[in-house]
Amino acid sequence: MQNNDTIAAIATPPGRGGIGIVRISGSNLQQFAQAILGKLPDPRHAGLFNFLDQDNQIIDQGIALYFPSPNSYTGEDILELHGHGGPAVINLLLARCLQLGARLAEPGEFTLRAFLNEKLDLAQAEGIADLIDASTANAARCAMRSLHGEFSSAIHQLVNALIDLRILVEATLDFPEEEIDFLQSAHATEQLIAIREKLEQILAASRQGNLLQEGIKVVLAGQPNVGKSSLLNRLAGDEIAIVTDIPGTTRDTVRQSIEIEGIPLHLIDTAGLRETSDIVEQHGIARTYAAIEQADLVLLLVDSRHGVTEEDHSVLARLPERLPVLTVHNKIDLSGKLPHLEEDTSGTAVYLSAKEGAGITLLKTALLKTAGWQANIAGEGAYMARQRHLQALMRTRELLARAATWLHTADQLELLAEELRLAQQALSSITGEFTNDDLLGEIFSSFCIGK
Ligand code: GDP
């Protein structure tokens, strides 16, 4: 997929704006600059230019920036034309670039080139897309840390520690008669323990980042009139989250997205789940069930005067058993109960009044806790991990657990060596050292054009 033809795209969002930017990246931009600007701008110096068409008529006047290879975003030569942000003028500028031989860039192609030219690794490239897509301030900060390379450097440290251990094990394979003593004196067991501990820390921090990015998916259940709308309004307060597409769900299955302490909360409604012969409705119900499969927990709302009813039990029975259930006993102002929280083996129950607001903080805390949010890790150290990263980390965890068993028995050194090799490969897929073209295509196609 390596291409080094010249690509161009509008880098600013569609519509009207103060400025609009057309970006060109390629191996030799001299002729583009000459034709559009009359000369190549000084490297990395903003200059005011007339942008010219093929008849030397002025399309627009604006700032041009030139970043010669390799010190540019893509690692190639880059020319940026900052014109006035009207769709017509910006499209004329883009058309001029295409006329001069540039090709319209694919989504994410600038960043793909940056990755292929080793300006950033795969996790950093994903950090850029996540930063652009971040729907909360917390998520944006977390994506910035990935982009900055904190996640990648934690992964690299772990890979290096694994390599050290692999060298030791591979060397031992060459001297079979001394193997056990040799591994013991080199503290192989301790090394593996340290690696596994570090992996657990990274996994915990990644889970937090994943929650920040994807949000907590909550299935909302409860009979009519128990106060679901009132509770959502109360929880949302002024903080309505920006609804972005949520992996595994379609937008119509999400009733509302709100934000609690900077974490997006997506509510999947069960109201429409019923037996029906209507085909359209059946499709909708199937989509809702698919969304429910991806959920993190069930929020069951009941009237505290009646508690959990038969109908509630039958709704719960249709939801996946693995989902933790958080039961909210609403309207305590009518039942005379006090706001409080009860925890037992069947789950957590919160008593509150959506109308008066009593107990709402208890619910917020319980919601975040049930979804696995750990404020202590999340504040500073969360990594903006994608599902792909979590899967790679979990696979590494499995492989290292097996490696630990082999190391313990110390009679299957080839198997130990193989598990360690696979673990290194799984970890390296995060930063892109072992990644196939299909995966790259999938990752970069989700970017916006011009990035
Ligand atoms: P939904 O059908 O589950 O969405 O329920 P609504 O939110 O529409 O509430 C139904 C009725 O219950 C409305 O009249 C609300 O004002 C009332 N309600 C909701 N929560 C409370 C509460 O905590 N206390 C009292 N007294 N009334 C409530």
Kindly tell me if the per-residue pLDDT of 242 is higher than 90: no
d(CA 440, CA 112): 8
Ligand 1 atom, smallest distance to 334 CA: 26
Q: Would you place residue 244 in the very low, low, confident or very high pLDDT band (cuts 50, 70, 90)? A: very low
Is residue 292 within 6 Å of ligand 1 at its C-beta? no
What's the rounded Cα separation, in Å, for the pair 417 and 19? 57
224 in contact with ligand 1, CB cutoff 6 A: yes
Q: What is the pLDDT of residues 198-226, one digit of tens each?
A: 999 999 889 888 888 888 889 888 888 89
Place of tokens 């997506």: 266
pLDDT at residue 378 is higher than 80: no
Mean pLDDT of 14-38: 94
Q: Which two tokens stand for residue 204?
A: 């915990």
Is the CB of residue 228 less than 8 Å from the CB of residue 119? no
pLDDT band at 357 (very low <50, low <70, confident <90, very high): very high
Task: Reply yes or no on whether the pLDDT at 240 is more than 60.
Answer: no
Q: Which residues touch 305 (CB under 8 Å, ≥6 apart)?
A: 331, 334, 335
Please work out whether the CB of residue 358 comes within 6 Å of at least one atom of ligand 1: no
Mean pLDDT of 375-390: 76
Of the pLDDT bands very low, low, confident and very high (cuts 50, 70, 90), residue 253 is low
Q: Ligand 1: which of 220, 223, 225, 255 to mutate, judged by most atoms within 8 Å of the beta carbon?
A: 225
pLDDT score at 272: 64
Q: In this structure, are residues 341 and 348 in contact, taking their beta carbons and an 8 Å threshold?
A: yes
Mean of pLDDT over the chain: 86
> Does the beta carbon of 331 lie inside 6 Å of ligand 1?
yes
- Going by C-alpha positions, the residue among 135, 119, 106, 120 that lies closest to residue 451 is 106
- Determine the distance separating the centroid of ligand 1 and the alpha carbon of 226, expressed in angstroms: 6
Q: Which of 100-109, 212-221, 263-272 tops mean pLDDT?
A: 100-109
Give the E-state strand segments of 241-382 in sequence order.
254-260, 263-269, 297-303, 325-330, 340-344, 347-351
- Supply the pLDDT for residue 96: 97
Segments of 251-355 assigned E as strands: 254-260, 263-269, 297-303, 325-330, 340-344, 347-351
For atom 25 of ligand 1, which residue has the closest CA? 331
pLDDT for 11 beyond 90: yes
Instruction: Considering only residues 77 and 281, tell me which one the structure prediction assigns the higher pLDDT.
Output: 77
The pTM of this model reads: 0.71
Residue 238 CB burial class (10 angstroms; 0-12, 13-18, ≥19): exposed
Distance (Å) from CA 295 to ligand 1 centroid: 25
Q: What is the mean pLDDT of residues 401-421?
A: 86
The full DSSP string for 154-190 is HHHHHHHHHHHHHHHHHHHHT-GGGHHHHHHHTTHHH
Q: Compute the distance from residue 360 Cα to the ligand 1 centre, in Å.
A: 14
Average pLDDT over residues 180-187: 71
Query: Which pLDDT score is estimated for 181?
Result: 67
Ligand 1 close to Cβ of residue 353 (< 6 A) = yes
pLDDT of residue 286: 78
Atom 24 of ligand 1, nearest CA residue: 331
Cα 217 from Cα 258, distance rounded (Å):
11
Secondary-structure breakdown of the chain: helix, strand, coil percentages, each rounded to the nearest 5: 50, 20, 30
Residue 255 Cβ < 6 Å to ligand 1: no
- Ligand 1 centre to CA of 224 (Å) is 9
